[in-house]
Amino acid sequence: MHIMYVDESGDPGNSQHSSPHYILTGLIIDQEDWKTCLDLLKTLRANIKASYGLQPQTEFHAMEIFRTSSPAYKAIKKYDRINMLKFYANEIPIIFSNAKILNICLKKSDHPLILNFQNLAWNRFFPDMILIYAKRLKIKE
């Protein structure tokens, strides 16, 4: 069995004030790797706290590195926030070295008649996920 964490970026709407893209990204790990990955993530967050002072329960958002609206990030110098992001970005591929990543990026201007991009993204996301597993399990399409 596998576990998948999915996150989105952008908003699913298509109005004048909407984001230009809607993105879904899924991280898929084998259940056998789950505990190891969790422990490594906890260690990473402990190292970030020790080096930069960011509490482990504070959500890690790359946008906060540059636009600090959160008091937790404001307390960290910009130079250190950038180094923290570099450190995080270097460690994630190591922690999830056996993981698979799925990504769907929809450019909203390419679909002017779509009002809700969430359905379109998920409808494209799941067939891609099935194809990845078919290849991994060597199942013919």
User: Domain spans of the chain?
Assistant: 2-136
Distance CA 126, CA 114 (A): 19
HSE at residue 72, side-chain half, CA atoms within 13 A, is: 13
Its sign, for the CA torsion 76, 82, 83, 87, is positive
Using one digit for the tens of pLDDT, what is the confidence trace for 12-52? 988 888 899 999 999 989 999 999 999 999 999 999 999 99
Using one digit for the tens of pLDDT, what is the confidence trace for 68-100? 788 888 899 999 999 999 999 999 999 999 998
What is the pTM for the complete model shown? 0.76
- Per the CB < 8 A criterion, the answer to whether 28 and 101 are in contact is yes
Q: Considering the chain, what is the average pLDDT of its residues? A: 88
Where residue 123 falls among pLDDT bands split at 50, 70, 90? confident
